[in-house]
Amino acid sequence: MHMFDENTPMEETLRALDDLQAQGKILYPAVSNWSAWQIAKAVGISAREELARFELIQPMYNLVKRQAEVEILPLAASEQIGVISYSPLGAGILTGKYGTNKRPEQGRLVEEQRYTDRYADEMNFAVADRFTAHAAERGVKPSTLAVAWAMSNPMITAPIIGARNLAQLEDSLGAVDVEMTPEWRDEISRLSVTPAPATDRGETLLPNWA
């Protein structure tokens, strides 16, 4: 389920997914771009009605878009649901091509309005500057490090990667060779803003992986 359907009862959607699984047309139901409360409600309905439940969540997750850390990833941990995140490079903003005073002539952020709307905030470009500088200090390509950071979150089963050419693919695949320690992950995380906990209490301790 790619987007939440406000016009269809959730029970009807879940029953259809259960039928599809029973018919062998899908292996598992999965969900993307739903909020945590919507996913939790669906899991509860599936348990009550004995329907096939969501077994995978596909949220957006990267260094400049960390909202999934607040409720979606904790929900996945609690309910033992897999997480395959998308946009580990932030539509290219974490590749080293973008910065506060740096814009390429081509790329999703300059060619597609939806990505411009999603990422073209000056704070995000400032994070990109800090991240690119950090990657250079460590001798790692920004794209490689961005994917490595996303996949180092214990709740991420795997990040989804994409590429326009072989060089971009090789940079992303290089993430498997990065030895990301918890200390290094924390250092990178401090380059961006950690989202407030769901209770919005500043003194509330976040899990170690957040």
Q: In this predicted model, what pLDDT tens digit does every residue of 134-149 receive, in sequence order? A: 999 999 999 999 999 9
Provide the domain count of the chain.
1
**96 within some domain:** yes
Q: Helix axis angle, 36-49 relative to 10-22, nearest 10°?
A: 60
Cα–Cα distance, 45 to 12 (Å, whole number): 11
Provide the CATH number for the domain around residue 65: 3.20.20.100
**17 within some domain:** no
Domain that holds residue 133: 55-189
Q: In this predicted model, what pLDDT tens digit does every residue of 172-202 receive, in sequence order? A: 999 999 999 999 999 999 999 999 888 877 6
pLDDT at 202: 62
**149 within some domain:** yes
pLDDT at 114: 86
- CA 163, 167, 173, 177: dihedral to nearest 10 degrees? -160
**174 within some domain:** yes
Q: In this predicted model, what pLDDT tens digit does every residue of 9-32 receive, in sequence order? A: 999 999 999 999 999 999 999 999
**98 within some domain:** yes
Q: In this predicted model, what pLDDT tens digit does every residue of 36-64 receive, in sequence order? A: 999 999 999 999 999 999 999 999 999 99
**178 within some domain:** yes
Mean pLDDT computed over every residue of the chain: 93
Pairing of strands 30-32, 82-85: unpaired
**209 within some domain:** no
Quick one: CA dihedral 78, 84, 88, 91, positive or negative?
A: negative
**88 within some domain:** yes
